[in-house]
Amino acid sequence: MPPKSSSSVCLLKKNVLKNIYKNPKPLNMSNEDERLFNASRKCHVCQKYFKKAHIKVRDHCHLTGRFRGAAHADCNLKYKQPKFLPILLHNLRNFDGHIICQAIGKFKHLNINCIPNNMEKYVSFSLGRLRFIDTYQFVNASLENLVSNLAMDGLDHFKHFRKEFTDFFRS
């Protein structure tokens, strides 16, 4: 039995993650999505043009039901959701990782995995289906510098953010 202090994390894992991955949402397309699908000439997954021999299908997010774009049937079948929930933290190995690792020690009933940099610092570690990843190991700059560099060239660099958070960019 996990300690009482871990009950909220256990509930998250048991209820939310289980339901997310076991109950995919059906495709929910608007008229605009249908128009975009019909006008699509390229697969949104591999960026290759559709040919007559290819079957064009409607790809959607199984977590939200949102239409992602037109795709080759093969690309759509190979495009899968990970079996884990990534938790991205910038500079995890130098600060947050120590705090999280202390708490993870309380979850003896869950599978714990680690990719160490050395005995004290980690690139990544997992607790059950939660995977904590240090983004600083892959992008060696502060978040402030990364965002300001992208923002100087305009909002075009935030295309994935814009696609997922359309309400944020509405005037």
Rounded Cα distance between 7 and 92, Å, is 24
Predicted local distance difference test score (pLDDT) of residue 6: 47
The dotted CATH code for 11-78 is 3.40.1800
Rounded Cα distance between 129 and 13, Å, is 8
Rounded Cα distance between 112 and 124, Å, is 11
Predicted local distance difference test score (pLDDT) of residue 1: 42
Rounded Cα distance between 166 and 88, Å, is 22
Q: What is the pLDDT along the chain (171 residues), one digit of tens a residue?
A: 444 444 555 555 556 666 666 777 889 899 999 999 999 999 999 999 999 888 999 999 887 888 999 999 999 988 876 778 888 888 887 777 777 777 877 887 888 887 777 777 777 888 888 888 888 877 888 888 887 777 777 666 677 777 777 766 665
pTM of the model: 0.51
Please name which of 80, 83, 75 lies closest in space to residue 58, comparing C-alpha atoms: 75
Which residues are CB-contacts of 30 (< 8 A; sequence separation ≥ 6)? 67
Predicted local distance difference test score (pLDDT) of residue 5: 44
Predicted local distance difference test score (pLDDT) of residue 16: 63
Predicted local distance difference test score (pLDDT) of residue 129: 82
